[in-house]
């Protein structure tokens, strides 16, 4: 690279300090016209300078424009920059920015015509300066990739629900150009296509995952309505893959013009079964009780029986959403004290909406020396947990609120100590509901065995409260307990079957809990759970009999081992041949107690319980024991993925039916 050489035209002895520094720069940093040793200034007239390694001198040349001024000139656009003025050395940072940030118009034009990449060559001045590997330890030279940037922008839009038109906004493009001048503006159509392509890729990956696993898929159905009375049916899948990981992706969002129509719901389910190849692979379905009714449930059961084998005659199909039940209980409790809660809300508003009011409130709190750990906040009445937070914080400061009218004459909203006591009691029972709801929002999402304990624990607490001698607590909690009783009786089979799959508890915890809660009805209900487990296992065992016969390797006298024993595999091949005796094997299993059938379920139930530890990973345990329990482990994988809630984690505390669903979750949750 040729730089213009500056002829100083001076003898060494008569050079000024600025001129000597300029000469040294030329001798060190320019690749040509380096004077020989005889022309080097001696140590008395020229200070020794460390050899420069800056890359900028591939793009700049220096010229002496005055006896005490040397400037750096861009080789591409010709613009000059300060370099040495008098005894001041300006450095090279501003020169680097001129090239690397694309400020140089000539460099930017060349980069747009021929994008610079690592593979284009070594030192072409049309590209930005290469970074020295030694400049920042661990930093490598990364070439610009427009396609990768477009992909990341599409992901950003989906993840944060930005409008697609953001890519055409001036502010967005100016910001991106500052970060990366080589970035080319993306059109609305391009980014829309990128978002859809990302969805199709994720859908294909998820479809391959579902198709490759041996287990079944549980479905939850939720209905969102819009202000135009259109309905959006959200179908979420719940399943455990081959590596024993639990997945909960949204599979379909179907717009239905008549949300109240049974046929609309059935057609939405049919679309999901078809799109995801789930005919014959649905384990169970859960609906939200806020829109389901007896007619719809009968219609759904009949429809699934046609498209899918009936599991336990549809007993696992549920119209009870646990999160929705908790939300209804919380709303009932809040509604029972709505007048008192409204006065607390107005008191909090009085303090939080005026700086002067808040200052006087804080002064009084300090004078009374009232400790508090929570901040006052005004609740969002569409989320009951925020009302719980508000009441909890206000109760901590009840002494301040009680005295506030004497300290601040403008405050006229006063609650008696008896009313504050009622609010405290309300918070006690709201906490039970709040803790139970947090189980549904936990990440990672808990397996189905968790909820038996949560529901039974909540039921015990409400039962004790409903029997309280305090009339206020009795009247407040008794209606809540009756609603939870109804949910428990309708869902206890599902919850109990799931907890039996936990090797720390098995049937023992069902027997203990049912005897504690149901008293005289306990024995009958325990028998129902045990019978249900055995009938369900029999269905899985029968399904295993009809699996395709395993292949025989050439030169191998034995049959490749599968989930069944060798004898079972031969019997399956014989029965599959259509000899008319396909039901005989099942009959023998039931009447004579086939050892393969009994040994797997009954052996599991009869073995000692594992120690009860909180950090137990039930999916890992079944993964390690799937060879010991081949049929039972497959049944366990389906049972443990059973959903008890149809709501997403961000909707658990909502008090209103959802409007205008956020379609971004449809895209992003496919790889959850």
Most confident option among 5-19, 168-182, 276-290: 168-182
Cis bond before residue 661 (omega within 30° of 0): no
Q: What is the pLDDT of residue 113?
A: 52
- On the CB side of 374, CA atoms within 13 Å amount to 16
Q: What is the pLDDT of residue 588?
A: 53
Stretch 25-31: mean pLDDT, rounded?
A: 38
Q: What is the pLDDT of residue 108?
A: 60
* CA–CA gap between residue 312 and residue 537 (Å, rounded): 10
What is the pairing mode between strands 282-287 and 217-225?
parallel
Most confident option among 341-350, 403-412, 512-521: 341-350
Which pLDDT band, with edges at 50, 70 and 90, does 616 fall under?
very high
Q: What is the pLDDT of residue 61?
A: 87
CB 300 within 8 A of CB 265: yes
Select from 515, 523, 513 the least CA-distant residue to 456. 513
Per DSSP, 128 falls in state P
Q: What is the pLDDT of residue 95?
A: 81
* CA–CA gap between residue 511 and residue 508 (Å, rounded): 5
* CA–CA gap between residue 554 and residue 567 (Å, rounded): 20
* CA–CA gap between residue 403 and residue 140 (Å, rounded): 65
Please check the confidence at residue 320 and state whether its pLDDT lies above 70.
Answer: yes
What is the pairing mode between strands 60-66 and 69-74?
antiparallel
Q: What is the pLDDT of residue 262?
A: 76
* CA–CA gap between residue 466 and residue 458 (Å, rounded): 12
The number of helix segments (H) and strand segments (E) in the chain equals 24, 9
CB 122 within 8 A of CB 128: no
User: Computed from CA positions of residues 41, 47, 53, 58, in that sequence, does the dihedral angle turn out positive or negative?
Assistant: negative
* CA–CA gap between residue 265 and residue 301 (Å, rounded): 12
Please check the confidence at residue 300 and state whether its pLDDT lies above 60.
Answer: yes
pTM of the model: 0.68
Most confident option among 83-97, 146-160, 287-301, 420-434: 420-434
Q: What is the 3-state secondary structure (H, E, C) of 206-233?
A: HHHHHHCCCCCEEEEEEEEECCCCCEEE
What's the whole-number average pLDDT of the chain?
78
Q: Is 103 left (phi over 0), alpha (psi -120 to 50) or beta?
A: alpha
Query: Which burial class, exposed, middle or buried, applies to 403 when counting CB atoms under 10 A from its CB (0-12, 13-18, 19+)?
Result: middle
Q: What is the pLDDT of residue 91?
A: 76
CB 560 within 8 A of CB 529: no
Please check the confidence at residue 633 and state whether its pLDDT lies above 90.
Answer: yes
Which pLDDT band, with edges at 50, 70 and 90, does 266 fall under?
confident
Please check the confidence at residue 347 and state whether its pLDDT lies above 90.
Answer: yes
- Is residue 470 helix, strand or coil? coil
User: Which two structure tokens, joined as six digits, stand for 292?
Assistant: 């389901």
Lowest mean per-residue pLDDT among 33-47, 91-105, 187-201, 624-638: 33-47
* CA–CA gap between residue 343 and residue 415 (Å, rounded): 8
Higher pLDDT, 495 or 298: 495
- Is residue 58 helix, strand or coil? helix
- The percentage of the chain sitting over the pLDDT mark of 70, rounded to a whole number, equals 74
User: Which two structure tokens, joined as six digits, stand for 210?
Assistant: 């579902």
Please check the confidence at residue 463 and state whether its pLDDT lies above 80.
Answer: yes
Q: What is the pLDDT of residue 543?
A: 80
Q: What is the pLDDT of residues 519-573, one digit of tens each?
A: 888 899 999 999 999 999 988 888 877 655 444 343 333 323 333 333 333 333 3
Could you give the residue ranges of the DSSP H alpha helices within 161-308? 170-179, 188-211, 262-275, 294-307
Higher pLDDT, 628 or 67: 628
Q: What is the pLDDT of residue 590?
A: 55
* CA–CA gap between residue 515 and residue 531 (Å, rounded): 17
Lowest mean per-residue pLDDT among 40-54, 271-285, 419-433, 566-580: 566-580
CB 31 within 8 A of CB 3: yes
Query: Which burial class, exposed, middle or buried, applies to 349 when counting CB atoms under 10 A from its CB (0-12, 13-18, 19+)?
Result: middle
Select from 230, 287, 277 the least CA-distant residue to 255. 230
- Is residue 154 helix, strand or coil? helix
Q: What is the pLDDT of residues 472-500, one digit of tens each?
A: 999 999 999 999 999 998 888 899 999 99
Q: What is the pLDDT of residues 224-241, one digit of tens each?
A: 877 777 888 899 999 999
């Amino acid at each position: 690279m040729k730089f213009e050489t500056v002829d100083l035209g001076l003898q060494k002895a008569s050079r000024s300090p600025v001129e000597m520094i300029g000469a040294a720069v030329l001798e060190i940093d320019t690749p040509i016209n380096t004077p020989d040793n005889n022309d080097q200034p001696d140590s008395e007239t020229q200070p020794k300078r460390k050899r420069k390694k800056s890359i900028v001198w591939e793009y700049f040349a220096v010229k002496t424009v005055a006896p005490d001024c040397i400037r750096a000139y861009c080789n591409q656009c010709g613009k000059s920059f300060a370099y040495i003025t008098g005894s001041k050395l300006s450095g090279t940072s501003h020169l680097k920015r001129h090239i690397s940030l694309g400020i140089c118009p000539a460099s930017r034009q060349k980069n747009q015509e021929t994008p610079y990449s690592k593979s284009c060559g070594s030192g072409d001045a049309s590209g930005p300066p290469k970074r020295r590997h030694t400049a920042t330890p661990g930093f490598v030279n990364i070439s610009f990739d427009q396609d990768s940037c477009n992909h990341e922008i599409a992901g950003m839009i989906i993840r944060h629900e930005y409008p697609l038109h953001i890519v055409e906004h001036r502010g967005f493009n100016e910001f991106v150009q500052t970060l990366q001048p080589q970035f080319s503006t993306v059109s609305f159509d391009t980014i829309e296509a990128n978002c859809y392509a990302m969805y199709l890729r994720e859908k294909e990956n998820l479809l391959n995952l579902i198709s490759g696993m041996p287990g079944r898929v549980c479905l939850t159905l939720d209905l969102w309505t819009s202000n135009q009375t259109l309905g959006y049916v959200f179908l979420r899948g719940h399943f455990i893959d081959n590596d024993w990981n639990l997945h909960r992706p949204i599979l379909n969002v179907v717009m239905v013009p008549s949300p109240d129509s049974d046929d609309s719901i059935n057609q939405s389910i049919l679309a999901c079964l078809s799109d995801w190849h789930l005919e014959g692979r649905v384990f169970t379905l859960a609906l939200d009780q806020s829109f389901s009714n007896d007619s719809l449930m009968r219609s759904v059961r009949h429809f699934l029986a046609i498209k899918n084998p009936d599991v336990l005659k549809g007993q696992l199909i549920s119209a009870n959403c646990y999160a929705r039940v908790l939300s209804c209980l919380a709303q009932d409790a809040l509604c029972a004290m709505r007048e008192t809660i409204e006065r607390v809300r107005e008191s909090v508003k009085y303090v939080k909406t005026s700086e002067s009011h808040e200052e006087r409130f804080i002064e009084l709190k300090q004078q009374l020396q009232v400790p508090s750990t929570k901040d006052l906040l005004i609740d969002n009445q569409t989320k009951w947990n925020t009302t719980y937070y508000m009441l909890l914080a206000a109760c901590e400061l009840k002494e301040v609120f009680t005295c506030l009218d004497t300290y601040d004459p403008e405050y006229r909203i006063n609650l008696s100590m008896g009313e504050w006591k009622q609010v405290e009691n309300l918070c006690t029972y709201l906490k039970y509901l709040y803790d139970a709801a947090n189980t549904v929002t936990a990440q990672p999402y808990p397996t189905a065995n968790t909820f038996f304990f949560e529901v039974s624990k909540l039921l015990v607490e409400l039962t004790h409260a409903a029997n309280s001698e305090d009339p206020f607590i009795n009247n407040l909690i008794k209606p809540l307990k009756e609603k939870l009783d109804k949910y428990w009786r309708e869902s206890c089979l599902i919850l109990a079957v799931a907890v039996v799959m936990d090797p720390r508890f098995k049937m023992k915890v069902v027997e203990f809990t049912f005897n504690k809660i149901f008293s005289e009805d306990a024995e009958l209900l325990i028998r129902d759970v045990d019978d249900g487990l055995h009938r369900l296992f029999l269905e899985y065992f029968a399904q295993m009999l009809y699996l395709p016969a395993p292949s025989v390797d050439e030169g191998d006298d034995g049959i490749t081992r599968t989930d069944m024993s060798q004898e079972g595999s031969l019997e399956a091949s014989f029965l599959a041949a259509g000899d008319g005796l396909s039901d005989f094997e099942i009959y023998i299993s039931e009447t004579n107690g086939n050892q393969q059938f009994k040994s797997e379920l009954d052996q599991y139930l009869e073995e000692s319980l594992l120690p009860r530890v909180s950090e137990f990973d039930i999916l890992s345990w079944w993964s390690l024991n799937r060879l010991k329990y081949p049929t039972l482990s497959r049944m366990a994988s389906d049972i443990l993925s059973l959903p008890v809630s149809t709501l997403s984690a961000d909707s658990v505390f909502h008090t209103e039916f959802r409007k205008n669903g956020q379609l971004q979750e449809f895209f992003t949750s496919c790889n959850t």
